[in-house]
Each structure stands twice: as structure tokens, then as C-alpha cells.
Chains A and B, each alone.
Chain A
Amino acid sequence: MKFIRGYPEAMRKSIDNVNKTRSKRIDEVIADMTLEERDKVLKSFHPDYKKETKENIAWGPNKGDLVPIEVASILNAYPTVSPDTIDLSKVDYDVGVLIIGAGGAGTSAALWANYSGVPEDQILVVTKLRHGDCNTIMAQGGIQAADRPEDSPLIHYLDVMGGGHFTNEPELARALTEDAPAIIKWHKDIGAIYDLNEDGSFVENPGGGTSRNRMHAAKDYTGMEIFRTLRDEFNDLSIPILEFMPAIELLTDEKGKITGALLYHLETKQYFVVRAKITVLTTGGFGRLHVAGFPTTNHYGATMDGVLMAYRAGAQLKHLDSTQFHPTGAAFPEQIVGLLVTEKVRSLGGQVLGYDGEQLCYPLEPRDVEASALIRCCSSTENYIETPSGMRGVWLDSPIIEEIKGKGTIQRDLSAMYRMFQRFDIDITEDPILVYPALHYQNGGVTHNKNCYTSLKGLLAAGEISGGVHGKNRLMGNSLLEINVFGRRAGITAAKEYKKQTAKGKLTLNHLKTTVTALDALNIKDKKYSPILLPEYREEAVQNRLIQLYEEIR
């Protein structure tokens, strides 16, 4: 196959169309959709609305909820440990605040618990992979905060509610938007860098579904810059962290209050027991379950462990039927299919085009609407581009950014994107990017109130694990915001609970017995086990040859 500057010759024909129409498109504005049009494209093309990809949760508080098959198969699975084989009488870590998950939410929860008076040795953070193997670090485009005089938290609130089709929890949406400026202030105080204009004001761009420019960014490394600053601060405070030590189950007392967690050492395969006065779940979402068969933009460990643990302990879930597909996952080259092409490309003026080089829709619709419009093009028209491996996609015209904002904009503001495609010989300042929606974010999850209390005593939750703040669709720039806002609130609440003169509860795995009884009653033929901890990418031929040695069985 002949490649010309990174693209196969066959795809070049359509790129010529893109180049031809570009000058005409610079001032061309496509009308955005009305609420009715949005509704129509969603119902016809968004994977959330396809019954055949859904299954019921078969037991527990949310029994009967229709959720993606992949999600149901985790929730309807048996625990990987049997309560009888675990000795809970020996406590390995006895702490005030246990934080499970060390992404953005967990790290800010730990910081704010410490700022709010919990001594560092009374905090324990545990995480499945390394401190920093999380979605926060991969977030590129920006973080929303209404700080300009012509903007306000109220306008931000309206954008959030409308983006979520008014299914959001109002008090959470209020907390999100009202805390936002203080979060940016905190970041600045601890030395995070945001892009500024010459006059010292923030560079603020639009995002899909925002009515004001309020996207704050650090090039297209926004999440990385925020996270590494938080992590550095975290290390400065000497807060203890255990890496490669995921929690695999929560622990409960006789009354069902959360009293700690059971950890599993990924490398030595031992279990460890943590007793805690208050537990914070910040384990993120389910991207690596590949809902509806989609590739994902998520990090390696996004397997919904936290939602599952909480559900087994009796927590209420919400909106888990709703999955966010990012409109622009990479569709070419094959090696990076599904990786995120930041929405910032469209914030800066990038347009979405069909084979003919004409705009398909308003480029900054809310994400679910934009994604549906792209799927519509690829599944019900002939106006898509096909890659040599048979993948369909549409063009995201990046070179137009430099025509609008000037030469050098891409290398300055989108250096991660530029670098990623350069590695595969594609120059995005010269040629467009082929995109197709990719699984991006778990819209629903564990319910909690504005101070992060879940429906279970002793358990707080924050970040992507939670359900309600975004309703059934999240806008760009509100997840980096969410992990900070609710991470901070969870930390403050944890400190409040820590200071209360309550005794630590008993440690049991009774809720697993309840789980197993409920599952047994279902007579499931093909029994599965969860949490899965990591997705399986080995070839079937390899999996078929796996054996367990005697010593491993014990």
C-alpha cells in the first residue's frame, strides 16, 4: 500500500475535497440543532438508545435497571473472594480516612482531608496501578470555570443542565459550577500553570454546549498539568499511598456501615485488611469495559471496580444506562484507534466534515449529540471515509485552525495532538484527522449528595464513579472540574467525619454472603466473577493455554 504523508493513497482523494472547501468554510457557520432535533438524532443513533446493547441489573437496590450488557455482566457476577477464606481479625492498616483510587478525585480528596485537619498518617490512599495512571492525567482540552465578568456560575449551571438533558441533580450541578472559580484559584496557589493571554487574563475557549468561553487550559496537557501539580503537592505532604494495591471489596459492620476495605497486591497476590473510620471511593469509571464494542479513550484500569464494590455493599446507583461517547476518537492510524482527539481541536475552530469535504453539523454540539451526528454520517449515509482496515470515520479539519488563529497555533496549543500524529507521519497542521466516536466517560454511577455522602454510612464518593452531577450527558471541561470540586468536598467531609468521636466498626464481609445468596437465586448458567481489575487483551490462543500451577491453588 502506498502512503503519502501518513495517509494511504486511497484516502487522499477525500483529503483533496477537504483542502478544496477549506477557504469557503472559514466563515461558514452551520446551524446548531434545536432541542427537538437533538432528541431525534440521539434516539436514532446514540448507542445508549439501542435496546439490543442493554441488559437488566438482576439483583440488589437497582434491580431491573437497564444498563449496558458489559456493565450488567460485572454487577451480576460473583465475588472473586469467599468471605470464609479471609482472616479479618488481623488489621494491616488502621487509619482514619481510607481513599480508594488515586486519580484526580482521590488525590484532591487526600489533600483536602489533610488541609482540613486529618494528620497525614491517618490517611491512606490505595490505587490499582501507579499514582497517576488515571483518566485525569489524560484529560486534554480544559476545565470549565465561570470567572469572567460576562460569565457567571448561573450561566454555567444552565449549560450543565441543558447538556445533561435536565436529568442532572440540581444541587450537584450547583456545587460543580459554584465551586469552579475557587478550584482554579487553588490550583494557581499551588503552582499549576494555565494558559494566559499577554495581558495576564486566562485564555478561555468554548466547548461543546457552552454558551460562554470558559474553558481554561494548559496547552492540550491540561489534565497532566493539574494532576502532576496535585501529585507533587501530595508527595510534599507525605501522605501515604500504596500502589498496585487495588481494593477488591469493601468491608462492612453488622449494620452495613462501611468500615474499611480488602486490598489485593497485584504482584505478590496477597490480601491486606484496612480498617478506616471513613472510606472515600474515587475509583473512576468503566471505559475499559468497552461498552457496545467501542474502543475507549480511557486508561488501562477503568474497569468499574468501585461502583461494583459499593453496589455489593448496598449503595444506590444512578444513570448507569448512560455512557458518554466522545465524538472524536482517533479512527486512523490503526495503532491509535480510539485514543482521544481533544475537543479543543473544535474549540479552536476545527470542523467536522464528510467525504465530500463539507461540514456535517455544528462542531460544538453537546457531546452525545455531536457523537450521534457522526455515527449518523457513518451508518446511514455514504459520506464517510473508510480506512484500509475497514474502519469508518469522518474528517476533523485541523489545518483550518491555523488559518483562523494563525500559524503555529497547533504546535503551541495542541502539542500533544501534534506529537501523537507526528509519530505516525501525519502532520495535523497540513492534513485533517480521521475520527469516530470512542467510549469516553461513565455518566452515571454511585449516588451522593453535595457533600459526597453516599446512601451508605461511612462511605463517600467523588469523581467519575458518581452519578447525577452531569445527568445523562457531560459537557467538555466538567470532568476535570468535577474531580476537583467533589474530591475537595469529599476530603473536607472526610475530615469532619474523622473528627467525630465514633468508634471504628467491626470488619465483616457479610454483604458478600448477601450478594452470593441473591445471585444463587438467579440460577445464572454462565457464572462470572468480578471485579476484573484489568481488561483482557491477550489473544484467545494464549488464554486457552493458561494453567494454574499447584502452588498457586494452595
Chain B
Amino acid sequence: MSKAKANSKPKDNVSPTVRIYIMGEAKDVPASLTIMKAIEYAGYKLTRGAGCRAGFCGACATIYRKEGDYRIYTALACQTMVEDGMYLTQLPFVPAEKAKYNIKDLSPSAETILRYYPEVARCLSCNACSKVCPQDLSVMDYVQYALQGQIEKATEASFDCVSCGLCAIRCPAEIPQYHVAELVRRLYGKYIQKYPETLDKRVKEIEDGVFEEGFKEFMSMSHDEIVEKYKARDFIDQKKK
């Protein structure tokens, strides 16, 4: 790795700085920044590698090593502070094919998982996927649950996945874990989770025009009349003074 020194010092010398390496180039940046803000501070205008900027979309999957440390680290750039000696790069795109299916034709079983993602059976339980997960999920465990047909457990374990794709890139068995997890969760949502009874009843009432009269009345009201209606609402669920 190149350790060439940057000539320019950051202009604001008051706040402490750290030296990071953006795709190999040394940059001194304020120590208080996230990796994403540091890359921007260093002069990059991001197109890839930035999405929601709040830890939900998975666009800013980042891989880094640290000086004097052989380990590979991963992070979401928008949620992680810079550290001295980081060698950084970001994943611009994750090539991992999503299987196509019609969720309405499936059954929630290991067979379904294996039909669309037969590579799941190649899992060696090496746990590399869990190690790189920036959400700290037990990725290997949910892949194994999926393989065992334990859809509910796989759903629970994979729920907080932001689909950044780091697991799929690291997997020696070449499994696209985050796509498998999506199938698992949809199977759970459609076939295993209970279906609240209130929903169909209410949808039917609306289709039958039960609220038609009420809406007509509200919509014909003057401003003052609707304000009075609003003020007169009761609050049956909440504590109010």
C-alpha cells in the first residue's frame, strides 16, 4: 500500500485530524467525520456509495484495512467514524442475481429456498458473511435456518438487513445471502405470519360504501364546521389531560 504524504494540510487546524487513504491516496481529515463525509471533505462528489446517508439503504458498503493489521473490516460509510490509518474503498455495485418468482405460487419451505437459490446448500458454515455484516447480523445462522426450512427464525435473524451485499461478495460458497433473506421474509409475511381479521372487514366496508355518507357530509362542511368536528374528537387510546 502506498503511503505517500499529502502536501496540503486541512485549513482548520483546530480540530484534530486523522490520516486516511482513499483508494490509496493519503488525506488528512477531521477526526470527527464519518467515512462518507471524510471522502466528500477530501474532494470527492459521490454518485455511487451514497444513498440515504442514514444507515438504511445499503449504498455505502465500505471495505477497509488498517495500518499494521491484516484483517478486512467493513462498514456503512455514513454510520462509521474515520480512524487513523484506514485504507478505504467502497463497493460501487454488487453483482448478485435475484431469483424471480411469483410469491403467490410458493410454499414456505426449505424446498422453495433451494429451488430458487440451490447454492444455499453449498454453505460451509465458515461464517465469513456474519463477520462482514455492518449490521452485525448472524448471517450464517439465517442462511442455515433457511436451509433447514426454519422460515420464522430466518426472518427474525435477517430482518435488520439493509441489503448492502457485503456478505455476498465475501461468501466462498457464492451465496447471495441478502436475496435469500428477502425470499425468506416474503414467505414469512405471506404464509406464516397471522393475518389480522380486522383488515378484510374494513376493506369490505369501504368497498361497500359504508363511509360514503360520512365523507360526503365532511366534504360539504364549511371551514368552521370541520374545525368544530376536529375539536370534538375523542381520544380513546391515549392518556390526555
Instruction: Say if the two chains contact directly (CB < 8 Å).
Output: yes
Interface centre among A138, A147, A149 (most CB of B within 10 A): A147
Give chain A residues whose Cβ lies under 8 Å from the Cβ of B219. 170-171, 174
Is A93 an interface residue when CB atoms closer than 8 A count as contact?
no
Is A233 an interface residue when CB atoms closer than 8 A count as contact?
yes
- Taken together as a complex, chains A and B put the C-alpha atoms of A78 and B56 apart, in Å, by 34
- Taken together as a complex, chains A and B put the C-alpha atoms of A161 and B120 apart, in Å, by 51
Given contacts A154-B211, A181-B199, contact A162 B160 (CB under 8 A): no
Give chain A residues whose Cβ lies under 8 Å from the Cβ of B198. 147-149, 201-202
Interface string of B169-189 (1 = CB under 8 A from A): 000000000000011011111
Give chain B residues whose Cβ lies under 8 Å from the Cβ of A166. 223, 226-227, 230
- Taken together as a complex, chains A and B put the C-alpha atoms of A235 and B196 apart, in Å, by 27
Nearest CB in chain B: distance from A187 CB, A: 8
Nearest CB in chain A: distance from B71 CB, A: 19
Give chain B residues whose Cβ lies under 8 Å from the Cβ of A138. 52, 54, 56-57
Is B102 an interface residue when CB atoms closer than 8 A count as contact?
yes
Given contacts A35-B231, A190-B190, A539-B43, contact A206 B218 (CB under 8 A): no
Interface residues of A in 137-182 (CB under 8 A from B): 137-138, 146-150, 152-155, 157-159, 161-162, 166, 170-171, 174, 178, 181-182
Task: Find out whether the CB atom of A244 lies under 8 angstroms from the CB atom of B162.
Answer: no
Is A11 an interface residue when CB atoms closer than 8 A count as contact?
no
- Taken together as a complex, chains A and B put the C-alpha atoms of A211 and B230 apart, in Å, by 10
Task: Find out whether the CB atom of A224 lies under 8 angstroms from the CB atom of B215.
Answer: no
Task: Find out whether the CB atom of A192 lies under 8 angstroms from the CB atom of B215.
Answer: no
Given contacts A159-B233, A211-B235, A236-B102, contact A266 B196 (CB under 8 A): no
Interface residues of A in 395-421 (CB under 8 A from B): 415-416, 419-420
Interface residues of B in 106-156 (CB under 8 A from A): 135-136, 155
B interface: dominant SS: loop
Task: Find out whether the CB atom of B218 lies under 8 angstroms from the CB atom of A157.
Answer: yes
Give chain B residues whose Cβ lies under 8 Å from the Cβ of A147. 196, 198-199, 202
Given contacts A132-B51, A228-B182, contact A537 B215 (CB under 8 A): no
Given contacts A35-B231, A211-B235, contact A185 B200 (CB under 8 A): yes
Which segment, of A2-10, A80-88, A333-341, A429-437, faces chain B?
A333-341
Given contacts A133-B52, A266-B47, A335-B32, contact A158 B196 (CB under 8 A): no
Given contacts A185-B199, A334-B32, contact A420 B233 (CB under 8 A): no
Give chain A residues whose Cβ lies under 8 Å from the Cβ of B195. 188, 200
Give chain B residues whose Cβ lies under 8 Å from the Cβ of A154. 211, 214-215, 218
Interface centre among A30, A146, A161, A181 (most CB of B within 10 A): A181
Is B33 an interface residue when CB atoms closer than 8 A count as contact?
yes
Is A490 an interface residue when CB atoms closer than 8 A count as contact?
no
Is A213 an interface residue when CB atoms closer than 8 A count as contact?
yes
Task: Find out whether the CB atom of A224 lies under 8 angstroms from the CB atom of B162.
Answer: yes
Task: Find out whether the CB atom of A232 lies under 8 angstroms from the CB atom of B240.
Answer: no
Nearest B-chain residue to A211, judged by Cβ = B233
Partner of A178, one of B11, B200, B211: B211
Interface residues of B in 65-81 (CB under 8 A from A): 79-81
Give chain A residues whose Cβ lies under 8 Å from the Cβ of B223. 166
Task: Find out whether the CB atom of B103 lies under 8 angstroms from the CB atom of A158.
Answer: no
Interface string of B197-241 (1 = CB under 8 A from A): 111111100100001001100110001001101110111111111
- Taken together as a complex, chains A and B put the C-alpha atoms of A283 and B156 apart, in Å, by 32
Task: Find out whether the CB atom of B241 lies under 8 angstroms from the CB atom of A419.
Answer: no
Task: Find out whether the CB atom of B103 lies under 8 angstroms from the CB atom of A233.
Answer: yes
Task: Give how many B residues have a beta carbon under 8 Å from the other chain's beta carbons.
Answer: 81
Is B88 an interface residue when CB atoms closer than 8 A count as contact?
no
Nearest CB in chain A: distance from B5 CB, A: 18
Is A189 an interface residue when CB atoms closer than 8 A count as contact?
yes
Task: Find out whether the CB atom of B11 lies under 8 angstroms from the CB atom of A221.
Answer: no
Partner of B189, one of A135, A158, A188, A334: A188
Is A541 an interface residue when CB atoms closer than 8 A count as contact?
yes
Given contacts A32-B240, A192-B189, contact A423 B80 (CB under 8 A): yes
Nearest B-chain residue to A30, judged by Cβ = B241
Interface string of A332-353 (1 = CB under 8 A from B): 0011100110000000000000
Give chain A residues whose Cβ lies under 8 Å from the Cβ of B81. 335, 424
Give chain B residues whose Cβ lies under 8 Å from the Cβ of A35. 227, 231
Is A267 an interface residue when CB atoms closer than 8 A count as contact?
yes
Nearest CB in chain B: distance from A159 CB, A: 7
Task: Find out whether the CB atom of B52 lies under 8 angstroms from the CB atom of A300.
Answer: yes
Task: Find out whether the CB atom of B237 lies under 8 angstroms from the CB atom of A212.
Answer: yes
Give chain B residues whose Cβ lies under 8 Å from the Cβ of A153. 206, 211, 215
Nearest A-chain residue to B231, judged by Cβ = A35
Task: Find out whether the CB atom of A193 lies under 8 angstroms from the CB atom of B56.
Answer: no
Task: Find out whether the CB atom of B98 lies under 8 angstroms from the CB atom of A232.
Answer: yes
- Taken together as a complex, chains A and B put the C-alpha atoms of A159 and B223 apart, in Å, by 14
Task: Find out whether the CB atom of A130 lies under 8 angstroms from the CB atom of B57.
Answer: yes
- Taken together as a complex, chains A and B put the C-alpha atoms of A221 and B79 apart, in Å, by 16
Interface centre among B41, B135, B159, B238 (most CB of A within 10 A): B238
Partner of B203, one of A185, A299, A536: A185
- Taken together as a complex, chains A and B put the C-alpha atoms of A267 and B47 apart, in Å, by 8
Interface residues of A in 215-245 (CB under 8 A from B): 218-219, 221, 223-225, 228-229, 232-233, 235-236, 238, 244
Q: Provide 13 A-B residue pairs closer than 8 Å at the C-beta atoms, listed in order of the A residue.
A: A29-B239, A129-B59, A138-B52, A152-B214, A154-B211, A161-B226, A181-B203, A182-B203, A188-B189, A219-B159, A223-B56, A300-B53, A538-B41
Top 7 closest A-B pairs, CB basis?
Answer: A191-B186, A200-B194, A133-B51, A191-B190, A31-B241, A191-B189, A162-B230
Given contacts A158-B230, A235-B98, 8 further A-B contacts (CB under 8 A): A35-B231, A134-B57, A178-B211, A211-B234, A225-B185, A416-B56, A419-B136, A423-B79
Residues of A within 8 A of B (CB): 29-32, 35, 129-130, 132-135, 137-138, 146-150, 152-155, 157-159, 161-162, 166, 170-171, 174, 178, 181-182, 184-185, 188-194, 196, 200-202, 206, 211-213, 218-219, 221, 223-225, 228-229, 232-233, 235-236, 238, 244, 266-267, 297, 299-300, 334-336, 339-340, 364, 415-416, 419-420, 423-424, 534, 536-539, 541-542
